Each structure stands twice: as C-alpha cells, then as structure tokens.
C-alpha cells in the first residue's frame, strides 16, 4: 500500500463545500480519482465531514437529487486524527485500523488528507532477497541460527521485511540462501503462510550481494525487479521507487539515504598559501549512503558475471562502462541495517520497546 497525502492547494482542489451539489461533488471525485472527499463549511473555513462514493449512492437510492447540497449526504463523524506523526506511523496506523482515508484536523480546520492507495499490479514486481550471509558479527546469536531468522518483536527479521513488501503489493519472492539455508526454507516453505509466493536459489559459495542474481533464470524475474539485503528493516515506498525508476528509464536504481557525521573538532578553512580564512566548530557533514535496496531492470543482468563473487555496488560502476544508466532514489523513512549487535538492539528498542 502506498501512502499519499494532500495539503495546501492540492487539498483545496479536492475539497467541497457542504452547499455544493451532489453533482459537483461527483465531478470533483472523478477528476481527482478518489472515492472520498472532505466536506467543508459553506465558507470553506471549517471541517464539516467527508462524503464517500457509497454515501452518495445511498443518498440517491433514498430519493435524493443530484442538485441537492452534498451536506445532506455527508458523514459528519468520520475517523480523523489531530496528531503530528511521520508518514511511516500514519501509514502503519491506517493499515492496522483498515482505513483508506484519514483527514487531519487542527482546531476544527482541515490541514491534510491521507490516502492509502493499493499498489498497482503487484504480480508485476518480484523481490529478490539476499538471505545467505554468515552474520558473523552477530555471533554467538548466529552460531546455530541464520541472521534472517533472528527474532524481533515475536517474528524473524526476514518476516518483517517480507510483510512490509507484501503490504506494498509485492507477492512474489525469491530468497537466495546459503548459511543454514535449510532452516530458512523449512521456516517459510512456499510462502503461503504469509500470503505470498516464495522460491529459492541456493548459493554453493560466497557470492556477495549480487553474485546470486546470476543463479536466477531471467524468466523468473519481473522487469524491473526489486533486490535487497535480508537484514535491512525498512518502510520504502515500492510504488514510488518503481515510478522513479521507470520515469527516468534507468537500468538500475540504488536506494540511498542521508547519513550525518559530526566532526568532533573545529575545522579550519585556509587559503592555498596557508592564510587563515575562518573555522567551523564541530560541523555536521551529510553524506548519501547505499541503503542496500535496488530496483533493477533485466538489462542490468548482462553486466553481472556468472558463478563469481560480485557485490551490487560494483554493478553501478560497471554499468557506466557498459553505457547503461544507473540512478538513485532517496529514502528518508525507516531504515535499520542489522549488521551488528548494536543495530539489533536499536531495532529491538523500536519494535519491542526494550533490548533483546
């Protein structure tokens, strides 16, 4: 599911006054491609409620007229929120409560409308998850358990990843397994318990984050397909990522995110001749880092060697030589790379509220 939100002028365009006609309201809905719109007071200064397409159908079935004011069909007690939450928390709350639309109200005024869109054509996106790592930095927890099966909030790390992608509309998965891979296969089987389809490829050697793609028949993949590491908890918007990838006609898209680093010293600026020009006390530098999530077109597979160790970041360098186009997509939401015990503890504090 993809979260969209309307505010300011966009919100004004999809809102109707309670004195406007049912006919006008139906046109606003149709033009916006929405099944529900906010209803405002006659002077458009106060929130009056919402009206859904079902409300209008029921109103007309009772004998209401197309030219009657839409206020007569308005739901004046809808579910709303006044809380200031980030998009990930709003989306999570809407999914838990089964809400497709959620108005945000502040002091009786409509400030935003959140909408959960069903991801289109989920069968068109395959997700390849690299789940074969040793997880040596998480020893001894991984001595007898593969890292993707380590428990977090009552379920394995990998289940959190699969469930998020499933909620984004992805239902076809290929898991690349190696270390204690049979445990992963035994746990997930064909994926039916999670309402998805899961196939497997088995690495017989260390193949890096990209080498396993050479083991997958291209016919088994969508075009493009999603590829990610099996230890990265995230809430990436798959539809937005794919749209960015498609609209730019990139052969591969790397998801990146901002990483801040504060220099623990004063940084001196000087001229080439050594003349003092100024200084900055403990400045914060911002870098964009690789998030370990990729949208790949099949054209990129031509660059990946067969039966060799190969890391996906290398793909973007090699594609330049092959005259293929690589792009980036910035993700600013949740992202936790479970690479060590400290990050596992941080994930536990978020998902469980305590350390494991």
Q: Could you tell me the CATH number of the domain that includes residue 162?
A: 3.90.550.10
Domain count, the chain: 2
Pairs from 264-271 (Cβ < 8 Å, separation ≥ 24): none
Residue 355 has φ and ψ, to the nearest 5°, of -80, 150
Residue 165 lies in a domain: yes
CA distance 101 to 163: 22
Residue 130 lies in a domain: yes
| Max intra-chain CA distance, the chain | 86
- Give the domain extent around 80: 2-117
Residue 175 contacts residue 194 (beta carbons within 8 Å): no
103 with 140, same domain? no
175 with 287, same domain? yes
Residue 252 contacts residue 155 (beta carbons within 8 Å): no
100 with 177, same domain? no
302 with 206, same domain? yes
Q: Are strands 284-296 and 252-262 parallel, antiparallel or unpaired?
A: antiparallel
Predicted confidence at residue 203, as pLDDT, reads: 86
**Six-digit token string for 319:** 């594609």
Residue finishing a domain among 63, 92, 117: 117
291 with 151, same domain? yes
Residue 232 lies in a domain: yes
Predicted confidence at residue 355, as pLDDT, reads: 42
132 with 108, same domain? no
| Secondary structure letter of residue 305 according to DSSP | P
**Six-digit token string for 73:** 């069909």
**Six-digit token string for 84:** 């200031």
CA distance 164 to 151: 16
Question: Where do we find the tokens 């405002």?
Answer: 40
180 with 198, same domain? yes
89 with 136, same domain? no
Residue 356 lies in a domain: no
Predicted confidence at residue 117, as pLDDT, reads: 67
Residue 172 lies in a domain: yes
pTM of the full structure: 0.63
Residue finishing a domain among 117, 138, 170: 117
Q: Are strands 126-130 and 225-229 parallel, antiparallel or unpaired?
A: parallel
Q: What angle do CA 158, 162, 167 make, to 5 degrees?
A: 150
47 with 128, same domain? no
Residue 336 lies in a domain: yes
Residue 61 lies in a domain: yes
Residue finishing a domain among 117, 146, 175: 117
Spatial CA neighbour of 115 closest among 1, 204, 196: 1
270 with 338, same domain? yes
Predicted confidence at residue 243, as pLDDT, reads: 87
191 with 250, same domain? yes
CATH number for the domain spanning 17: value is 3.10.580.10
Residue 306 has φ and ψ, to the nearest 5°, of -90, 140
Cα R_g (the chain), whole angstroms = 25
Residue 242 lies in a domain: yes
Q: Please, what's the b/e burial string for 117-126 (b: 16 or more CB within 10 A of its CB; e: otherwise)?
A: eebeebeebb
Q: Which positions are catalytic?
A: 282
Question: Where do we find the tokens 């993700």?
Answer: 331
Q: Give the three-state DSSP class for 257.
A: strand
212 with 97, same domain? no
Question: Where do we find the tokens 């016919």?
Answer: 219
pLDDT in tens, the chain (356 residues): 567 778 888 899 899 999 999 999 999 988 777 889 999 999 999 999 999 999 999 999 999 999 999 999 999 999 999 988 877 788 888 888 889 899 999 999 999 999 886 544 444 789 999 998 888 888 888 899 999 999 998 999 999 999 999 988 898 999 999 989 999 999 999 999 998 999 999 988 887 778 889 888 888 899 899 999 999 999 999 988 998 898 888 999 999 998 888 999 999 999 999 999 999 999 888 888 999 999 999 888 888 888 888 888 899 999 988 888 899 999 988 899 898 888 888 888 888 764 44
Task: Answer whether the bond into residue 172 is a cis peptide, omega within 30°.
Answer: no
């Amino acid at each position: 599911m993809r979260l969209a939100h309307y505010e300011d002028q966009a919100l004004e365009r999809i809102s109707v006054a309670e004195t406007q006609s049912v006919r006008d309201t139906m046109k606003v809905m149709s033009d916006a491609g929405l099944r529900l719109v906010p209803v405002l007071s006659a002077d458009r200064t106060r929130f009056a409620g919402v009206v859904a397409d079902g409300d209008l159908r029921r109103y007309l079935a009772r004998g209401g007229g197309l030219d009657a004011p839409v206020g007569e069909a308005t739901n004046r007690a809808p579910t709303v929120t006044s809380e200031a939450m980030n998009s990930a928390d709003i989306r999570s709350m809407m999914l838990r409560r089964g809400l497709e639309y959620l108005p945000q109200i502040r002091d009786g005024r409509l400030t935003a409308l959140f909408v959960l869109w069903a991801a289109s054509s989920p069968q068109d996106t395959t997700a390849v998850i690299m789940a074969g790592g040793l997880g040596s930095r998480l020893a001894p927890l991984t001595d007898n358990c593969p890292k993707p099966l380590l428990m977090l909030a009552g379920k394995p790390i990998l289940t959190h990843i699969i469930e998020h992608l499933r909620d984004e509309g992805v239902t076809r998965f290929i898991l690349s397994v190696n270390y204690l891979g049979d445990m992963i296969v035994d746990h997930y089987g064909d994926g039916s318990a999670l309402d998805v389809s899961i196939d497997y490829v088995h690495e017989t050697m260390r193949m890096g984050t990209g080498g396993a793609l050479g083991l997958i028949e291209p016919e088994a993949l969508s075009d493009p397909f999603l590829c990610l590491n099996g230890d990265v908890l995230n809430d990436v918007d798959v539809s937005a990522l794919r749209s960015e990838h498609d609209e730019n006609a990139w052969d591969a898209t790397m998801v990146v995110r901002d990483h801040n680093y504060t220099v623990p010293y004063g940084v001196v600026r000087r001229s080439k001749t050594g003349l003092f020009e100024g200084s900055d006390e403990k400045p914060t530098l911002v870098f964009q880092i690789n998030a370990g999530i990729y949208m790949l077109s099949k054209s990129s597979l031509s660059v990946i060697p067969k039966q060799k160790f190969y890391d996906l970041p290398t793909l973007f360098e090699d594609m330049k030589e092959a005259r293929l186009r690589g792009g980036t997509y910035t993700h600013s939401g949740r992202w936790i790379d479970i690479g060590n015990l400290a990050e596992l503890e941080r994930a536990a504090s978020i998902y469980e509220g305590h350390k494991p």
